[in-house]
Structure 1
Amino acid sequence: MDDKIHGEAETAPHLKEKGLDPLTHSTVNASGHEDSLQRQYHLIATFSVALTIDSAWTALGGSLAIAIGMGLYITLIYWLTQKANGGPAGVLYEYLVACFCYLLIGASLAEFASSIPSTGGVYHWASVASGPRYGRMVGFFAGLCNFFAWMFDLAGAYSIASSSVLGMYSIWNDAYVPQAWHAYVTFVVLVFISCLVLIFGNRWLPVLNQIGAFLVVGGGLITIIVCATMSQHAPSSFVWSNFSENNVTGWSDGVAFMIGVLNGAYTIGTPDGVTKLAEELPNPSHDMPKAIFVQVGIGTISGFLYAIAILYSITDLDAVVAGEFPLTVIYGQATGSAAGAFGLLLILFLNVFVACITTYLAVSRAWWALARDNVTPLAKLFKQANSRLSCPIQSVIFVGIFCCGLGAIQLGSAAAATDLFGSFIILSTLSYALAIAAHLLTRRRNIPKGPFWMGSAGFAINLSALAVILVLDVFFCFPALYTTTVSTMNYNSVILVGLALLITAWWLVHGRSNYPTPKVLSLYTKDGLM
């Protein structure tokens, strides 16, 4: 198909300039495929998608909503309740460092998104940046690594949403004792509802995301104001000081600080989320870079202010530690009433649930993009898209089933499930690193210049982003405690190696012989851009 398209394009430049297939006059997008989905996300809707997927302050608070009683281990809970990694002061300062790092990463990804506005995102950027010789293999690994990262993040998001539901229920039922299966049933129900929304309500998704963005900004502002205006607060020394005194990890302050940046990264680390909807935007080359910077900027501010408000609201740390739902206890201390705590928790749940739906949307598009290029098993099935519903239905259903399967892990081992969900940051940044490293090693020559191009500053920013990823990912594999046990061990490195072996095996079994050169690589090569 590519040979015919590009061969004919030479005799029909007016069609090529309009992005049309000279044979069928149908639109050929930046991925090299014909458009299959409606381009319905204008600029504000695009910003809304980026903000909703990230939902920085809810990611921060939602991690506290996970029930300690169900055995789930979230690092922020440990830092606050056990005073590790610098305590509350560590949470704040480590968060700011994470946001700065993601500003560098986001700038690098924004440049890619502007140049190659494809739903494949990192997968296609790594393919083109690596050039014709290595692009096929590098893109294959980057694409699958990125997909699994987002798949684990999606399961983690639904875990937060389901725990928030149980937290709201517990406010009015003091005798309630949460069980793992309660959370899982809620998890499955929320995934099922989301699946129906994505399949049958696609045309309403831009509106839903704008509601989500309103909840991110408005709901966050309401929560911050409520927490900040209550009469009782923790002393400033509890919030801003005593980092060394609160570092009980056994690591030096510097190492403990670097390990602690992980929580901030989990809160802000979704810069490529919006790029998975590139082929549903009328003007993706211009709008996606803006959306990435809006996400990082607003996410940084909202998350930081929320963290301050929450930390000042903790007046009885022992009660937070003893509670089944820590955030519920904190909200109760902040408002002084069950109704107030319920209201704030409801705001968080609505925000998280919309974020779950939008993240589900993005992950299904990522799987669909891989299937179009025959990366996945059963690619002929998953590459299909329903033109009437503007939805790759099979991919949406698959992602939902996969997500429920991941959620079921907590029934057997909650710690294993949480480690898997938490590996999102390492796996996603590793996929970014493959694309950025290829971009640097080819002296930034293979990626065409888009509307957002960093010029001479690009090399320094790309190099800084790559260095940040490599350094942080090493620390993120360290255990939280210097003296560790099986239960407190950090299994990120095990997950990383296991996934690398899985992708390598799939490459040897399928990719090496059955995965063709992706259309995006053929497109940019044949257009003389390399």
Structure 2
Amino acid sequence: MDSGEKRLNELGYKQELRREMTLFKTFAISFSTMTLFTGIIPLYGSSLLYAGPASLVWGWVVVSFFTWFVGLAMAEICSSFPTTGSLYFWAAHLASPKWGPFASWCCAWLETIGLIAGMGTQAYAGSQTLQSIILLCTGTNKDGGYFAPKWLFLCMYIGLTIIWAVLNTFALEVIAFIDIISMWWQVAGGLVIIIMLPLVALTTQSASYVFTHFEMSPKATGISSKPYAVILSFLVSQYSLYGYDSAAHLTEETKGADKAGPIAILSSINLGSFFQHSETSYDFSYLYDTSNETAGAFVPAQILYDAFHGRYHNSTGAIILLFVIWGSFFFGGLSVTTSAARVVYALSRDKGIPFSSIWRQLHPKHKVPSNAVWLCAAICIILGLPILKVNVVFTAITSICTIGWVGGYAVPIFARMVMAEQKFNAGPFYLGKASRPICLIAFLWICYTCSVFLLPTFYPISWDNFNYAPVALGVGLGLIMLWWLLDARKWFTGPVRNIDNENGKV
């Protein structure tokens, strides 16, 4: 019997999903979920405006350093608990019997919220990229190019979500194959942009400028505090380096998951941390100007347009590289959908979602949680509906995604940190005495990350620039906690065993 399946049976679950994934395929899906291009070129809000290039570059270094602590803590736990339920299953088993159900409940819903919002971030960013491609293919914002209105933008958002759901309804081997393409697409495309952009741009800055230049834009952002500006400029890196837990969601479908899962998690962080931001010489305020050639809607589009139009007097090169970036978001959204469906399936298997009997059903032929896939897609589409009226949807969805997704990491890591060492059944990847300090640093970093994504990103605060994440999360988590207090605590016990280890009966 496969070591991962053997450990799964010991934990009380029968093998239902097809265990056909290799380490490389699992790594490909995990790396694809991280979506490399969110880190190569600043995408989150006004990252460059806050504090200039140096803060972005060093922010990437700082965030990568602390992300390694989170990854190590999660890899150790994944090695011990190679299950599709992953984070919330870990939380239930690592916490005490008294607190296990509540820890599992909190973790499960944080993870679910984060993953479904993660689908929304990829759909939104992919729609932004496609919007810019259409604009540059028909001209520019200054000479009559077609800039997709909000209703068409929403249609593109919904279209991407539906395509991901359709693809995830097929066999997992199809998704794994696509994600292998995605991995090479992102690595090769990232290298092309990093190398080509400075070569094509007519003017570039020195290394000392990139690594030392600090420049604030208080007129554009309303922020005059240097420490606060630096904190906000780090958000793009914090948003970029997460999603590596996708390997854990696929452990019931991966061969030798107790070893392959931790390797895939750490390999994804390692490769993601390798790539740095690409900078050339720009007037930062012009990148966000709504009267520029790309309508100030998508910073990478203006950067690429300036570089290629400045040298070749056409935007063909910019359009090609924008298509490369769009492909990254497309593949990333496909992978996030895969992970979200697995978490919803696992939670439904444990009766933690209304109408669980529906969402836990597997496709009769492909053995994938197809109903869970379409539930996630439907909620993602609902999250995108405010696009028609609100201009800060991306910032809000990104904040919700990061807080939910990364916040879900904190629960099992904290439980692992405070539990008695002799009660931990270590897997092949074990940190030993280093486990507690690593978990402590990881937990504190996660708390900091979740806190800063609740901060206002522009001043003075108005309805047009307000960060809606605290309101949305407050309402959502408040309802979930109210459900727990009034009802769920009476019947939700965490992961439900579906196999009897003593007599081998299901």
Same fold (TM over 0.5): yes
Judging changes above 3 Å, is the alpha-carbon distance between structure 1 residues 387 and 164 closer, same or farther for their aligned structure 2 residues?
Answer: same
Structure-2 separation of matches of 1:507 and 1:358: 30
Residue number in structure 1 paired with 2:17 = 37
Contact map agreement 1:39 1:280 (CA 8 A) in 2: yes
C-alpha root-mean-square deviation of aligned residues, in Å?
2.7
TM-score, normalising length from structure 2? 0.89
Structure-2 separation of matches of 1:40 and 1:17: 13
1:116 to 81, 85, 92: 81
Aligned-residue sequence identity (percent) comes to: 22
C-alpha deviation, 1:251, in angstroms: 5.5
C-alpha deviation, 1:519, in angstroms: 2.8
Matched, 1:153 2:118: yes
2:253 to 280, 290, 309: 280
C-alpha deviation, 1:459, in angstroms: 0.8
> SS of the residue aligned with 2:99?
helix
Contact map agreement 1:54 1:267 (CA 8 A) in 2: yes
* The 10-residue stretch of structure 1 (326-335 or 128-137) with the greater mean CA deviation from structure 2: 326-335
C-alpha deviation, 1:160, in angstroms: 0.8
Residue number in structure 2 paired with 1:425 = 402
* The 10-residue stretch of structure 1 (229-238 or 435-444) with the greater mean CA deviation from structure 2: 229-238
Structure-1 separation of matches of 2:466 and 2:299: 23
Residue number in structure 2 paired with 1:271 = 244
Contact map agreement 2:91 2:103 (CA 8 A) in 1: yes
2:262 to 277, 289, 298: 289
TM-score, normalising length from structure 1? 0.85
2:286 to 303, 318, 326: 318
Contact map agreement 1:135 1:521 (CA 8 A) in 2: no
Structure-1 separation of matches of 2:227 and 2:78: 35
Structure 2 counterpart of 1:48, which letter? A
Matched, 1:49 2:29: yes
Residue number in structure 2 paired with 1:211 = 181
Instruction: Count residues in correspondence.
Output: 486
2:53 to 84, 88, 99: 88
Judging changes above 3 Å, is the alpha-carbon distance between structure 1 residues 162 and 356 closer, same or farther for their aligned structure 2 residues?
Answer: same
1:129 to 78, 88, 94: 94
Deviations 1:283-319 (A, max 9, x none): 11101111111111111112x1xx1x2x216478625
Judging changes above 3 Å, is the alpha-carbon distance between structure 1 residues 285 and 249 closer, same or farther for their aligned structure 2 residues?
Answer: farther
Contact map agreement 1:278 1:288 (CA 8 A) in 2: yes
Judging changes above 3 Å, is the alpha-carbon distance between structure 1 residues 473 and 192 closer, same or farther for their aligned structure 2 residues?
Answer: closer
Judging changes above 3 Å, is the alpha-carbon distance between structure 1 residues 443 and 427 closer, same or farther for their aligned structure 2 residues?
Answer: same
Residue number in structure 2 paired with 1:172 = 137
Contact map agreement 2:119 2:161 (CA 8 A) in 1: no
Contact map agreement 1:105 1:462 (CA 8 A) in 2: yes
Structure 2 counterpart of 1:265, which letter? Q
Unaligned runs of 5+ in 2: none
C-alpha deviation, 1:92, in angstroms: 1.3
* The 10-residue stretch of structure 1 (204-213 or 382-391) with the greater mean CA deviation from structure 2: 382-391
Contact map agreement 1:406 1:417 (CA 8 A) in 2: no
- Equivalent residues in 2 for 1:299-378 (5 A)? 299-302=272-275, 304=276, 307=277, 309=278, 311-312=279-280, 314=282, 318=286, 321=289, 322=292, 323-324=294-295, 325-336=298-309, 337-378=314-355
Structure-1 separation of matches of 2:3 and 2:365: 27
* The 10-residue stretch of structure 1 (180-189 or 423-432) with the greater mean CA deviation from structure 2: 423-432
Contact map agreement 1:158 1:356 (CA 8 A) in 2: yes
Judging changes above 3 Å, is the alpha-carbon distance between structure 1 residues 347 and 420 closer, same or farther for their aligned structure 2 residues?
Answer: closer
Contact map agreement 2:104 2:494 (CA 8 A) in 1: no
Judging changes above 3 Å, is the alpha-carbon distance between structure 1 residues 217 and 19 closer, same or farther for their aligned structure 2 residues?
Answer: closer
Structure-1 separation of matches of 2:500 and 2:227: 47
* The 10-residue stretch of structure 1 (472-481 or 512-521) with the greater mean CA deviation from structure 2: 512-521
Structure-1 separation of matches of 2:4 and 2:465: 56
* The 10-residue stretch of structure 1 (32-41 or 209-218) with the greater mean CA deviation from structure 2: 32-41
> SS of the residue aligned with 2:432?
coil
Contact map agreement 2:150 2:388 (CA 8 A) in 1: yes
C-alpha deviation, 1:215, in angstroms: 0.6
Residue number in structure 2 paired with 1:228 = 198
Residue number in structure 2 paired with 1:6 = none
> SS of the residue aligned with 1:414?
coil
Structure-2 separation of matches of 1:287 and 1:294: 10
